[in-house]
Chain A
Amino acid sequence: MHQTTYLGAIREGIAEEMRREERVFVLGEDVGVYGGAFKVTDGFHDEFGPERVIDMPIAESAIVGVSIGAALMGMRPVAEMQFMDFISCGFDQIVNEAATYRYRYGGACSVPMVVRGPSGGNIHGGLFHSQSREAWFTQVAGLKVVMPATAYDAKGLIKAAIRDNNPVIFFEHKYLYRRVKENIPDEEYIVPLGKARVASAGTDITVVTWGAMVSLCQAAAELLEEDDIDLEVIDIRTMVPLDTETILESVRKTNRVMVVHEASRTGGFGGEIAAILAEQAFDSLDAPIVRIASADTHVPFSPPLERFYLPSVTDVVEAARKLARY
């Protein structure tokens, strides 16, 4: 075992894959000598050289497009968006090109690539450095969508994403980058895409969540012990593919459910989970499904504004109390 941060875990995961497989390479803005804006690729330039650590111009469409072309030829690119907010500049390439290639080739090609980068708020990054856009990509067939909540998962999931033969959009939560420190195994491991994790076991209310909200919900769970309310926190880890079985199993046990996410409420992926539960577990529900999400506004800059915007531990605690009484 050794201690690492969430960010360090991602770095370890990518580096291990680059050592294991020559066709894995990274590209993005400032990923070379500088080692990336957040230092995820720190040291890569020295170890792997500029051929496999490609410093790109400010051109997200080219970063994604070049990755697609290379992936079609059998390379395994890992493209960094300096901030996931900038993914909108490469959106066309992801949704119209990367996601559709295999489909329109009748299954005769694969696009094994990862687009990764820092997402999420609570760092006072303002409108353009704080967005949570995972739901956008869940609407597009042919893409896998991942957001880890722990350092262990961050490493295991990035390795799985790199080994996957499909385009994977990998959302890292920048609030967790250096705040999370964990002991992780020295031996190699993979966390498969599409398998949810019971972050905290409980019997009264199921909380379905992901990313930075997982630890927030776990903090709420600890506070709720005083109320004798036992939360079961499910970290879905990946939106696509989604492990509905683990969620359904939990809800059938607790009969009450909250969905908590950082992206704003309307059109968020929580709505999809609520709908699945309404379709597939209606008979198991003793109370309405509760959604807790950010406000339907932009991610604001000033701390009181951002606090207002984001879900809080208090939000989860109060909602859980009401839900338990329903």
Chain B
Amino acid sequence: MNAKTPARSQRRAPSVADGRDARRDRDLLYGLYRQLWRVRHFEESIGRLNKQGKILGGVYSGRGQEAIVVGTIYGLRRDDKVAPVHRDMGAFLVKGMSARQMMSQIMARASAPSRGKDSWTHTGDLEIGVIGSTSMLASSMPIAAGVALAGRMLGRDSVAVCYFGEGSTARGDFHEALNFAGIHRIPCVWICENNQYAYSTPPALESAVPFYKKGEAYGMPSCAIDGNDVLEVYDTTMAAVERARRGEGGTFVECVTYRMDGHSEADQANYRDRAEVERWAEKDPIGRYRRYLLDHGFDEADLPEPPPDVVQEVRDAVEFAQNSPLPEGHEAAEDLFDESAGVTHWATPYPNYVRTPWLGR
């Protein structure tokens, strides 16, 4: 961004989407509501399946944070890109990966986008612009910057939206990515999900400054907003996305929220104060948004909890995944290299040196 452009920062007290225009498009309002439930219901069903021992590997619930993935992605175009991390299962769904795909992914099925190679959110789909992450948190940030840079190099006005927890703002990759993005006005919106804990570590032990200040440090407009208010998240992100589309560079949005469950299902989160959890439960993004809608022209009957089509979609996904075959063992050696270009000539089939001839294998 231009050095003359003043950094804009604000810190709002968490509040219900107050004073908003009730004449917003009804489809948009209900669409957000439905997606919030879609994410929550999907994740709750994973929790249940996990307790039944039907899930392999870690489970990282985003309960309480749904307004962020829904509010940031609902208004994006198909050619925009998102780079979610482990607690953003909802981002995969809202951006367009199917519940069937993601349930298969979690159940290690051959039908999963990863074909069983890895679990959870360690995959993606370039067709619909989902850039997967690894467990090295913040490592996806330079990659998101590269994705956004490539969009610009290819002459497109698509943007990228990159997610990271407040804990990740301590990592070098965070700083390397934002520094680069700031210098080159990379069209990427940076969504800091401040859910108050990096596993068990509270913000006071994560950073000496408010997280959104770190965005300012790299020369981009930065703000902290109520991450449990889906309309505030939507409005802020869409403004940032449009700004990026216009070629004015990135924006740093700290979404203040709360991780209602432990770091993973294995974490009882006993390091937290019960009163704190209860306080945040009152700010639940779905309950608040529902009350807002009831105050703004919706009836109880309009707002099922959860919507039946969502329940049906998730039920179908579970059934699909459970009935999908597991991959064959030998597939472990597939999908390593792209040999389609025809330029690579293997002298011998790869990998050739796992064979020990006299053993006959």
Chain A residues with a Cβ under 8 A of chain B = 25, 51-52, 54, 56-57, 59, 61-62, 64-75, 77, 92-93, 96-97, 100-110, 112, 141-142, 144, 160, 163-166, 190, 192-196, 241-246, 272, 276, 279-280, 282
Task: Enumerate chain A residues within 8 angstroms of B172, measured Cβ to Cβ.
Answer: 61
**Given contacts A108-B125, A110-B338, is CB(A51)–CB(B345) below 8 Å?**
no
The chain A residue with its CB closest to the CB of B178 is: A62
Residue of B nearest to A240 (CB): B350
Given contacts A106-B123, A108-B113, A194-B344, contact A66 B337 (CB under 8 A): no
Q: Compute how far the CA of A121 lies from the CA of B147 in the bound complex, rounded to whole angstroms.
A: 36
Query: Which of B112, B154, B334 is close to A107, meaning CB atoms less than 8 Å apart?
Result: B334
A103 touches B117 (CB 8 A): yes
* A104–B132 CB distance below 8 A: yes
Report the count of interface residues on B (CB-CB < 8 A).
Answer: 59
The answer to whether A65 and B344 have CB atoms under 8 Å apart is no
- B137 → chain A, closest Cβ, in Å? 11
Q: List 12 A-B contacts (CB under 8 A).
A: A59-B176, A66-B180, A102-B338, A105-B126, A105-B132, A106-B114, A163-B341, A194-B346, A245-B348, A279-B357, A280-B357, A282-B358
Whole-angstrom distance between the alpha carbons of A77 and B148 in the complex? 14
Given contacts A105-B123, A108-B126, A192-B345, contact A64 B142 (CB under 8 A): yes
**Count of CB-CB pairs between chains A and B under 8 Å:** 199
In the complex, A220 Cα to B182 Cα: how many Å? 54
Q: Is the CB of A194 within 8 A of B347?
A: yes
C-alpha gap A160/B147 in the complex (Å):
24
Residues of A close to B125: CB separation below 8 A = 105, 108
Q: Smallest distance from the beta carbon of A168 to chain B beta carbons, Å? A: 10
Cβ contact within 8 Å between B146 and A69: yes
Q: How far is the CB of A25 from chain B (nearest CB, A)?
A: 7
CB contact between A25 and one of B140, B153, B355 (< 8 Å): that residue: B153
| Interface members, chain B 342-361 (any A CB < 8 Å) | 343-348, 350, 352-353, 355-358
On whether A166 and B338 interact (CB within 8 A), knowing A66-B142, A72-B143, A108-B125, the answer reads: yes
Q: Could you tell me the distance in whole angstroms from the C-beta of B160 to the nearest C-beta in chain A?
A: 8
Tell me, in angstroms, the Cα distance from A144 to B230 when the chains sit together.
Answer: 45
A171 to chain B, nearest CB (A): 18
Q: In the complex, are the beta carbons of B142 and A243 less than 8 A apart?
A: no
Rounded to whole angstroms, the CA-CA distance of A68 and B356 in the bound complex is 35
Bound form: Cα–Cα A92–B153 in Å: 25
Contact B149 A276 (CB under 8 A): no
Question: When the two chains form their complex, are residues A107 and B353 in contact, meaning their CB atoms are under 8 A apart?
Answer: no
Instruction: Fill in one digit per residue for B247-260: 1 if any A CB lies within 8 Å of its CB, else 0.
Output: 00000000000000
Q: Are B150 and A65 in touch, CB under 8 angstroms?
A: no
Contact in complex: B143, A69 (CB < 8 Å): yes
User: B124 contacts which chain A residues (CB < 8 A)?
Assistant: 105, 109
Q: Does B179 contact A (CB under 8 A)?
A: yes
Contact A97 B134 (CB under 8 A): yes
How far is the CB of A78 from the nearest CB of chain B, in Å?
13
Flag whether B89 is at the interface (Cβ < 8 A): no
CB distance from A135 to the nearest CB of B (A): 15
Give the chain B neighbours of A246 by CB distance below 8 A. 347
With A72-B147, A103-B117 known to touch, is A96 a contact of B134 (CB < 8 Å)? Answer: yes
B146 touches A65 (CB 8 A): yes
A30 to chain B, nearest CB (A): 15
Q: How far is the CB of A297 from chain B (nearest CB, A)?
A: 28
Interface pair A96/B353, CB less than 8 Å apart: no
Is A164's CB under 8 angstroms from B144's CB?
no
Q: Chain B, 97-136, contact with A by CB distance < 8 Å: what is the 0/1 string?
A: 0000000000000001111011000111110000110101
Residue from A54, A72, A96, A192 in contact with B343 in the complex, judged by beta carbons closer than 8 Å: A192
Flag if A142 contacts B337 (CB, 8 Å): yes
Q: Which chain B residues (53-80) contact chain A, with CB distance < 8 Å?
A: none
Q: Is B10 an interface residue, CB under 8 A from the partner?
A: no
Supplied contacts A57-B180, A69-B148, A105-B335, 6 more A-B pairs, CB within 8 Å: A65-B139, A75-B153, A97-B139, A105-B126, A241-B344, A280-B353
Task: Tell which of A67, A96, A101 has the most Cβ of chain B within 10 Å.
Answer: A101
State in angstroms the CA–CA spacing of A272 and B153 once bound together. Answer: 41
Q: A228 vs B14: C-alpha distance in the bound complex, in angstroms?
A: 86
Give chain B residues whose Cβ lies under 8 Å from the Cβ of A272. 353
* B151 on interface, CB distance cutoff 8 Å: yes
Distance from A281 Cβ to chain B, minimum over Cβ atoms (Å): 9
A245 to B147, CA, bound (A): 39
Q: How far is the CB of B311 from chain A (nearest CB, A)?
A: 28
Q: B242: CB under 8 A from chain A?
A: no
- Given contacts A190-B343, A192-B345, whether A69 and B153 have CB atoms under 8 Å apart is no
The 8 closest A-B pairs by CB, nearest first: A69-B146, A65-B142, A106-B115, A73-B150, A62-B176, A66-B146, A107-B335, A165-B338
B144 to A69, Cβ gap below 8 A? yes
